[in-house]
Amino acid sequence: MVVFLIMDRTLRFNSNNMIFFVYFFIFYNIMNSKTGHNIKKRNKANDVFITPLTLAKKHIDMIEYKDDDIWYDPFKNSGNYYNQFPNDNKVWSEILEGEDFFDFNMEVDIICSNPPYSMINEVLSKCISLKPRVISLLIGQGNLTTKRIENMNKAGYGLYKLRMLKVHDWYGMSYIVHFEKDKENCVEIDRTIYYREN
Ligand SMILES: C[S@@+](CC[C@H](N)C(=O)[O-])C[C@H]1O[C@@H](n2cnc3c(N)ncnc32)[C@H](O)[C@@H]1O
């Protein structure tokens, strides 16, 4: 919008407008790649992101559950997940309140949360070790890799559901990855390396 106001108001494609567009395009792309670079290089991970209430509810609603299932939110913070779980058989942890997920050892059926993105591998391994039926997490798009899906498959979990979405002000897209014991993947993984023939 601002771009068009700054430009020639008649919006004719004269050379000044073209030069402005080119500079704007280059600036925009530099800023975008800089954000990604800063996230990768920062010394201290920023792992506290509060999930919007409506999104946490939508995420919970994706899960088919039984009345006696025990729900677990390992990263409770505000409780936007925990408080909206559909029954009272529920437990939580949160490092800021002295309850470390990595010390948790109860039997649970459903793990559902928005985890700290700086330790996704450790989070997935710990989730697997708790042997729940469902592991359903809200993660950044860059956190979903073929290797991670394959590791979950090796542990007996299929990527049963995948939802792609955007949260305002969060970097890139976010994914709800719903892994479930003994289920098929909802995506195909092709590990062939393709080469150009011409
Ligand atoms: C991305 S935030 C999500 C918060 C909340 N689940 C939500 O969606 O609004 C991740 C949370 O995990 C917590 N956390 C990080 N490491 C933890 C650990 N080892 N055990 C428990 N909580 C941890 C952070 O303090 C932070 O509150």
For residue 17, the CA-to-ligand 1 centroid distance in Å is 47
Nearest Cα neighbor of 134 from 101, 176, 93, 173 is 176
Helix (H) or strand (E) holding 147: helix 146-154
Residue 143 in contact with ligand 1 by CB distance below 6 A:
no
Tokens 């299929």 sit on residue:
158
Give pLDDT, residue 24.
52
d(CA 140, CA 165): 10
Q: What domains does the chain contain, in order, with CATH numbers?
A: 2-41 (no CATH), 53-181 (3.40.50.150)
One-letter amino acid of 86: P
For residue 53, the CA-to-ligand 1 centroid distance in Å is 15
Give pLDDT, residue 19.
57
Average pLDDT, the chain: 86
Ligand 1 pocket: which of 75, 82, 117 to mutate (most atoms within 8 A of CB): 75
Report pLDDT digits (tens) over 73-121. Answer: 999 999 999 999 999 999 999 999 999 999 999 999 999 999 999 999 9
d(CA 138, CA 124): 12
Q: How confident is the model at residue 15 (pLDDT cuts 50, 70, 90)?
A: low
For residue 14, the CA-to-ligand 1 centroid distance in Å is 52
Q: How confident is the model at residue 2 (pLDDT cuts 50, 70, 90)?
A: very low
pTM across the whole model? 0.81
Residue 82 in contact with ligand 1 by CB distance below 6 A:
no
Average pLDDT over residues 182-195: 97
Report pLDDT digits (tens) over 19-49. Answer: 555 555 555 554 455 544 444 444 456 789 9
Give pLDDT, residue 85.
98
For residue 150, the CA-to-ligand 1 centroid distance in Å is 25
Ligand 1 pocket: which of 51, 84, 95, 102 to mutate (most atoms within 8 A of CB): 95
The first and second tokens of residue 38, run together, are: 């800063």
For residue 194, the CA-to-ligand 1 centroid distance in Å is 39
Residue 93 in contact with ligand 1 by CB distance below 6 A:
yes
